[in-house]
Structure 1
Amino acid sequence: MFACAKRTRDLGYRYAPGDISIDGRRGKDGDVRIRLTAMNLSLVDPFVLAQDIPEALIARLRSSGSAVCLRFSRQGDLLASGTAKGAIAIFDLETNGVARKLRGHTPGRQVQSLSWSSSGRYLLSSSVDWKAILWDLQDGSRIRTVNFGAPIFIAELHPTNHLICAAALYEHQPALADLTNSKPKKTLLPTVPKRSSYEQDTLSEKQAAQDAKQFTSVALFTPSGQHIVAGTTKGWINIIEVKTSQIIHSMRLSSKAVVHLRITPSGRDLLVNANDTIIRTIKLPDLTDPKLEPDSIRLEVEHKFQDVVNRLSWNHVAFSSAGDYVMASTYMNHDVYIWERGHGSLVKILEGPKEELGAVEWHPHRPFVAATGVESGKIYLWSVNTPQRWSALAPDFAEVEENEEYIEREDEFDIQPIEELHKRRLDLEDEEVDVLTVDPAKPGQFMNEFHMPVQLDIDASDSEDEMIAIGAGQYRRKNEGADADDMEPDDDTMDDNGVNGTEEVANGSSKRRRGD
């Protein structure tokens, strides 16, 4: 392994191999330090470090129930998931463990959507039990609960005001809710598309009746919060002005229902998934321009993504963090398709689980993707395989691209008198360490960033990575009691580390059963 060895004073040997440099030396305090230096970074593919799309399945997470919807926090450190049983689990992406569990919706009623506030402190959840709940993650309390009087398709928080939300309702008009007071104030929003004067004059009674029958299936705010983009069950896209609650522009994309919408952080690109097996990206005008006239708005379709051979349908769609890529999960298929928007070509198909995938989300800052399994309810995570960085082991590690000749200082390895070393230690003990002063935020850092407190009495982590082997074909959770049930592995739910998937029973007890 080692190419050569050099004798150093009082410390033994210093190795200078082609792979790793091990350097032993004595510090000023008399302690012996060992330095490992990676030498062959040139052997690492530089394109791996510059990748901006995920490439491999890295983990599987399990919440207490089947996960059906996902949402990353704006900072990207937390992942919220809603289950088919009405519970919400928030995962810490540093440890893949459950940081908090929220229960407030009617048990057995599916959570339909999740929406984070810009600070990351508040979370809005909606369910088919007609309710939307605003949570304060500082202590996990419910700030507001609003009953919309109908099952909710999706509910979204205002980008800058967490006390305002918009909701698309089943067979009802969409609503804008003001949660400032204890009794929420709801304002109904229009669904009937806005037509030009010529179209109004030539509109037949049949078309007018069809317009009246459609309802809004999805609605979300633009990044400025001044407008709402809504999709209907007849394939229309409506742009609604929040201030007046009126539609300022309508466009028909398809004869099928619009099921998902996504907007880039810039607010200039719209992603539409309709039930006609076609995914569209649309260029939006600058809706914040005060000189923009509603009659001059023109929505242009930039790209159409579809599988013309297999005629695949798409379950869920999402933009990448920068909006350069479009991602979609497929109906009755276990693949995730990723297209780049420059030329509209397919660049990656993420493979991993052997089950159909439902909701998919792209991390707001990194090439990191999360998706839910339709059958098992697990959460799958894809990311980039990064090379091991030896500099992460200690602050004073130095990484070099090639071997370098080292010339030691004259007194570098001299033995220091014990009295002098003892005096230095005593001087260091007298130093006062300031642990109260908060360093100023770095330029560009989010000033109002919220960090969710650690909940110490949380149930055992729901991450499958917490499973460890205790015998041949037997597994248990880390730090679990001695009465944990033994389990047998299931090939269908085995993860990359040979860990068998398990789940908690609905009543939250410590018993486990075999993976689905």
Structure 2
Amino acid sequence: MNLLLTDPFSLSQDYPENLTHILNYGRSTCLKFNRKGDYLASGLFDGSVIVFDFDTYGIARVLRGHTRPITSLSWSRDGRYLLSGSRDWLCILWDLKDGKRVKTVRFEAPIWGAELHPYSHQIFVVSLFEDAPTLVDFTDGTIRKHLLNDVAFAKTSSGDDEENASGSPSPENQQEVQEKQSTLVATFTTSGQYIFTGTSKGWLNIIDSESFQTVRSERITTSNIKHIAFSSSGKQFIINSSDRTIRLFNTPDLSYTDPNNWELSVIHRFQDVVNRLQWNSITFNSNGDYVLASTYQDQHDIYIWETEVGSLVKIIEAPREEIVDVQWHPNRPLIAATGLDKGTIYVWATVTPQQWSALAPDFVEVDENVEYEEREDEFDVIPDEIANKRRLDQEDEDDVDVVTIERVRGEFSDESFVIPVILDEEEETFEDSDSD
């Protein structure tokens, strides 16, 4: 009964083209949609975190606890908890029900990035500046930090005969790569069983999230690996490196117990061969059909490639501001991006005409004015008794369902946490938080 009043034939446009909204609240440094897409979190340069209600573009929460710029944001699966990482060496887990801090974890270096486990808000992985990546677990109430190995492993000379088709050795024939390198990015797979990390020397390390051991290393490039992103289905992932190339991979079948059976081969390479552009941020669209990337420095564009054949389908011209972070809405053809200079949030979306004829069965849309011919009894005075009887008879005939929620195509199907409105919110001091 509550289907959107939009023309279903207009939904064929599956990537946005028009700049529809501009959000200004502080200087934004990073963005993140929740899983349903009804809230957008924005980390600010002053250390605050703003949560926007994306239906009304109003502010649902203002979270203050950091003292330096926010570098990363991560939502829990149900959308109730939000993890923020900052250059002040802190990661804070927020409960959006009341805006309070659940946990505050201090590290020994600034935060590159932090990401929550896909199925638990009490586990997260963090990549640190010139320090080993760390898995944090406080499921039992006590904060435990597990250092992850940030060195790569290569086959020994005795393991040449046991090398598999992808060029990786068996685990018993591995040795550490004696290169000074640091982990720049760490992210969970969609199942949370493994952690993919990228190093400053171009190595992709796959780490078991339970044993904390590196089970596979692959040399992807000789440059820094800056970003790793998985599609929503987890079947593909992309890697952004400093060699100006974005590489698309099919996610290997991680159910194989022997990591040598995991095939890691590049499906497509996305790059600008003419201008040789660097890329600031990368992401997939909601169903993994497109890859999105924002350009670095002089250019102010957002490139969209399709993943089937790897062709460029659209270049969105951004305002005269370098785009540092870009996010695709989880369920709609909508892009949110933030600029470097002013920290303004730009929103691109498809403009779909409203189908007003859906308001009533007899509603007719006309291109020009027409002369209306009234019915003979249209304006007759009807006694109240007869009018009420007609109305009651009509209500008895019509069975109105006010409980069932009908889903439109592409709409999120799972239940999600709704941030309650706090009318009298008290300021929380930093000392009240649980820190380690």
TM-score by length of 1: 0.70
Name the counterpart of 2:128.
Answer: 169
What letter is aligned with 1:49? Answer: L
Is 1:152 the counterpart of 2:106? The answer is no
| Contact 1:441–1:447 (Cα < 8 Å) also in 2 | no
What letter is aligned with 1:167? Answer: V
Is 1:57 the counterpart of 2:19? The answer is yes
Is 1:381 the counterpart of 2:347? The answer is yes
Name the counterpart of 1:256.
Answer: 223
Name the counterpart of 1:66.
Answer: 27
Name the counterpart of 2:55.
Answer: 94
User: How many angstroms does 1:132 deviate by?
Assistant: 0.6
| Contact 1:99–1:455 (Cα < 8 Å) also in 2 | no
2:114 match: secondary structure:
strand
- Provide the identity percentage: 45
User: How many angstroms does 1:389 deviate by?
Assistant: 2.5
| Contact 1:321–1:363 (Cα < 8 Å) also in 2 | yes
Q: Determine the C-alpha separation between the residues in 1 that align with 2:376 and 2:365.
A: 24
Per-residue Cα deviation, 1:264-298 (whole angstroms, up to 9, x for no partner): 122121111001100111111121x2x44212112
Change (3 A) 1:445 1:57: closer
Is 1:75 the counterpart of 2:36? The answer is yes
Q: Which runs of 5+ in 1 are unaligned?
A: 1-37, 432-436, 459-516
Name the counterpart of 1:136.
Answer: 95
User: How many angstroms does 1:327 deviate by?
Assistant: 0.7
Q: Determine the C-alpha separation between the residues in 2 that align with 1:145 and 1:320.
A: 32
Aligned match for 1:243, one of 210, 223, 242: 210
For residues 259-338 of structure 1, the aligned pairs below 5 Å read 259-287=226-254, 289=255, 291-332=256-297, 333-338=299-304
What letter is aligned with 1:371? Answer: A
| Contact 2:305–2:311 (Cα < 8 Å) also in 1 | yes
1:95 match: secondary structure:
coil
Name the counterpart of 1:189.
Answer: 148
Q: Determine the C-alpha separation between the residues in 2 that align with 1:375 and 1:397.
A: 52
Change (3 A) 1:423 1:321: closer
1:174 match: secondary structure:
strand
Name the counterpart of 2:385.
Answer: 420
Change (3 A) 1:74 1:445: closer
What letter is aligned with 1:75? Answer: K
Name the counterpart of 1:353.
Answer: 319
Q: Determine the C-alpha separation between the residues in 2 that align with 1:438 and 1:221.
A: 40
Q: Determine the C-alpha separation between the residues in 2 that align with 1:402 and 1:45.
A: 21
Name the counterpart of 1:362.
Answer: 328
RMSD across aligned C-alpha pairs, in angstroms? 3.3
Name the counterpart of 1:34.
Answer: none
Deviation larger for 176-185 or 148-157: 176-185
Change (3 A) 1:334 1:455: farther
Q: How many aligned residue pairs are there?
A: 395
What letter is aligned with 1:61? Answer: L
Q: Determine the C-alpha separation between the residues in 2 that align with 1:359 and 1:187.
A: 29
| Contact 1:226–1:243 (Cα < 8 Å) also in 2 | yes
Change (3 A) 1:275 1:139: same
Structure with larger Rg: 1
1:315 match: secondary structure:
strand
Q: Determine the C-alpha separation between the residues in 1 that align with 2:340 and 2:112.
A: 18
What letter is aligned with 2:178? Answer: A
| Contact 1:357–1:374 (Cα < 8 Å) also in 2 | yes
Q: Determine the C-alpha separation between the residues in 2 that align with 1:217 and 1:340.
A: 27
1:195 match: secondary structure:
strand
2:178 match: secondary structure:
helix
Q: Determine the C-alpha separation between the residues in 2 that align with 1:222 and 1:151.
A: 24
User: How many angstroms does 1:340 deviate by?
Assistant: 0.9
| Contact 2:28–2:343 (Cα < 8 Å) also in 1 | yes
TM-score by length of 2: 0.82
What letter is aligned with 1:155? Answer: A
Q: Determine the C-alpha separation between the residues in 2 that align with 1:228 and 1:401.
A: 58
Change (3 A) 1:181 1:147: farther
1:53 match: secondary structure:
coil
Per-residue Cα deviation, 1:240-268 (whole angstroms, up to 9, x for no partner): 11111111111111111111110012212
User: How many angstroms does 1:128 deviate by?
Assistant: 1.0
Is 1:229 the counterpart of 2:196? The answer is yes
Q: Which runs of 5+ in 2 are unaligned?
A: 161-168, 170-175, 426-436
User: How many angstroms does 1:229 deviate by?
Assistant: 0.8
Q: Determine the C-alpha separation between the residues in 1 that align with 2:86 and 2:402.
A: 40
| Contact 1:329–1:358 (Cα < 8 Å) also in 2 | yes
| Contact 2:193–2:210 (Cα < 8 Å) also in 1 | yes
User: How many angstroms does 1:400 deviate by?
Assistant: 7.6
Q: Determine the C-alpha separation between the residues in 1 that align with 2:314 and 2:24.
A: 26
Q: Determine the C-alpha separation between the residues in 2 that align with 1:208 and 1:417.
A: 91
Per-residue Cα deviation, 1:12-60 (whole angstroms, up to 9, x for no partner): xxxxxxxxxxxxxxxxxxxxxxxxxx9xx9xx995x4311000111111
